[in-house]
Amino acid sequence: MNQTPTFTTTDDNPELLKRLHIKPKISWPVVAILAVTLPLALFLIVAVTCEWINPVLAAIPGAIIGYYLFTPIHEAVHRSASNDEKINDLLAMLTINLLLPYISPKALRWGHMQHHRFTNEVGKDPDASLTHRWYSYFLWPFFELSYLPAYFRVAKQRPKSEVRQIILQLPLGVAALAILFWFCGWQLFIFWFLASRMGLALIVLVFVYLPHHPHTILQKDDFYGATMLRDGWEWLLTPLMMGQNWHLVHHLYPTIPFYRLKKAWYARKAFHESNNPARVDAFSLQAKEPRPYP
C-alpha cells in the first residue's frame, strides 16, 4: 500500500527523510506539468503548421515548454515519477520524443547516472564536456553530441538489447522527423529545431551549469562542494528552476521527487549544515565564501 509522507520539519529527523524517499503511485506535480505543457505544445505545432504564427516567434514559448518538459523526463529517469517502473519508462519515452525523438531514454538514463556517479570528472561525467572546454557553450543546444559518443565508447560493456534499442532509435527517429516535416512543411522544422535547441540550452544552464559551477570540485573529493545550494528568492527560483535551486539535495538523495527536496534538506538540516555545503546567492555564480578543499 502506498504511504503518504507526513511533512513535519525538525533539525534532525531521519525517519522523515526515510519517508520522503517513498515513491508516489503517480507524481501529481509531474501530471500537472504535463497537463499544462502538452496542450500548449500541441497548440504551437498546429499554429505553426497552419501558418497562424511565425515559427521563429513560436520557438520562444516552445523552448520554455521544452525546458519544463525536462522535469517529467528527469523524474522518470530517476524512477521518481511513479513507483511503477513501466509508468516511468512510458513517461520518459513520451516526453523525450517531443524534444529528441531519435534519442532513447535508455541513453539519457545511462548518461545521467554517470553524471551522478562521477560529477565534474572529465572523461567520466558526460556533462563535463558541456562545461570544461572553450567550445562547451556551443554544445549546450546539442547535448546529444556529448551523451551519444560517451555511450558508444562503453557500448561493449552495456546490455546488447539496450545497445540495439539505442542504435535502432537513431535512424527511426530521424526518419520520423523527416516524414513529419515533409508533409507538414519547413515551418514546422524551423519551429522544432529552434524550440528544441533553445530548450536544451536552458536545461543545461539550470541542471548542469549553475548547480556545479565552477565545475572544478570533484564529487568524489567533496560531495558538499561539487554541487551548490542556491539561497534566496525561493518563491521565484523554485518554480523557475523546478526545484533545482536545491540541486545539492538532489545529488544527496537522487530518488526523492523534486517537489520534496527542500523538505529533505530540513529533515536533517543540522547534519547537512555540519558538512559545510557550498552555497550561492540567488542570482550569483560564485559561492558565498571559500570552502576548504580536501
Report mean pLDDT in 10-residue bins for the chain, 294 residues: 44 91 97 97 97 97 97 97 96 91 95 97 95 91 93 96 96 95 94 97 97 94 95 96 97 98 96 94 83 53
Q: Are residues 272 and 188 both part of a single domain?
A: no
Q: Are residues 97 and 198 both part of a single domain?
A: yes
Q: Are residues 125 and 73 both part of a single domain?
A: yes
- In a domain? residue 250: no
Structurally, the chain folds into a number of domains equal to 2
Residue 6's pLDDT is what?
43
| 48 and 188 Cβ atoms separated by less than 8 Å | yes
Which residue from 287, 210, 286, 262 is spatially nearest to 20, judged by alpha carbons? 262
Q: Are residues 57 and 102 both part of a single domain?
A: yes
Residue 7's pLDDT is what?
42
List, as one string, the DSSP characters of 145-196. HHHHHHHHHTGGGS-HHHHHHHHHHHHHHHHHHHHHHHHH-HHHHHHHHHHH
- In a domain? residue 101: yes
Q: Are residues 272 and 186 both part of a single domain?
A: no
Residue 234's pLDDT is what?
95
What is the C-alpha to C-alpha distance for residues 6 and 22, in angstroms, rounded to an integer? 11
Q: Are residues 37 and 54 both part of a single domain?
A: yes
Q: Are residues 183 and 234 both part of a single domain?
A: no
Q: Are residues 198 and 141 both part of a single domain?
A: yes
Residue 10's pLDDT is what?
54
Q: Where in the sequence is the domain holding 11, given as residue range(s)?
A: 1-23+222-243+256-294
Q: Are residues 54 and 9 both part of a single domain?
A: no
Q: Are residues 141 and 45 both part of a single domain?
A: yes
Residue 292's pLDDT is what?
55
Residue 150's pLDDT is what?
95
Q: The C-alpha cell of 174 is what?
A: 530521424
Q: Are residues 90 and 207 both part of a single domain?
A: yes
- In a domain? residue 108: yes
